[in-house]
Amino acid sequence: MTASENRDTTGTVSVVTGANSGIGRAIAVHLASIGHVVYGTVRSLDKATKLNAMADEAGVEVKLAVLDVADDDSVREGLGQILDEAGRVDVLVNNAGVGGNGVVEEAPIDLYADVMNVNVYGAIRCLKAVLPGMRERRHGAIVNITSVTGRFASQVQAPYVASKWAFEGLSEELAHELSPFGIRVAIIEPGITKSAIFAKNPATDHHSDYAPHTRRMLRFYAVGLRDATDPLDVAKIVEHAVTTDTPRLRYGVSWGGPEILSGRQALSDEDWVALGGIADDNEFYKGFRDAFGVDLTETA
């Protein structure tokens, strides 16, 4: 990507949800550094300490908006205040999200509902607030931060996987629907990126029959977190997605992301199912490496 491929977007009004940590914080500060007027949403102002510090260090301003994507009224009020102040929203980055561990059989229904409410319904609430103006102006960009797990069913993360697959489908439909109005939609699919979401993602107890799946999931993240990608890399992909003259719908990024996405696309469904049936961990890791080019055999 070269500078000549991108349009000047100085003064672009951008909203980044979940801007208080990890990927969201990096996106908000980076967009501000290239001249965007950025509103970072946080559930409370006292959660923005690190965001403020990072913005100060970069010599930029990220305006704060109190907004909880899980609440209808909070989204209406928060985005309403942004629209009143800025007059428009040019770019919406739906980044706010939560994790959710558990196998399909045993994850509580309430956990599925909570994860969907943030990861999918939260984005929809924000979309409903900004799309009328974008459609009227025939201009705008929506960036949805999904996950590699939105196209690859990572083990023992059933609520999270379900939400990200749903978000992928919603995003693809959205891109189709908004195409006549000049509104760009980009799906960013990170692999393992340095983020607080992993520390906030509680372990889930389950029947011992599922213990091998848990071991393999934990190995995947242990290896990935060792070499986790800086969230600034994701932020630069967001910049590219909203400025390039040759946009794509999907962008894989971060540790394991592009490899797993391309590997799963090349792998037949039957071979994917067979991989899950391998009993021996070492044989599973070998099969995983052969299929996805990601080596899980070393953690140190």
Burial 172-208 (b: 16+ CB within 10 A, else e): eebbeebeeeebbbbbbbbbbbbbebeeeeeebebee
Sheet-wide strand order for 250-253 = 62-66, 37-42, 13-16, 91-94, 140-145, 183-190, 250-253
Q: How far apart are CA 104 and CA 215, in angstroms?
A: 16
43 backbone dihedrals φ, ψ, rounded to 5° = -75, -25
| 285 is a catalytic site residue | no
Pair 42, 119: CB distance under 8 Å = no
Beta bridge partners of 251: 188
Place of tokens 């690190």: 50
Q: How far apart are CA 30 and CA 59, in angstroms?
A: 11
Closest by Cα among 82, 78, 48, 15 to 238:
15
139 backbone dihedrals φ, ψ, rounded to 5° = -160, 145
Closest by Cα among 133, 118, 22 to 84:
133
Catalytic residue among 39, 112, 160, 285: 160
> 242: which DSSP letter?
H
First-to-last alpha carbon distance for the chain, in angstroms, is 34
List the catalytic residues: 160
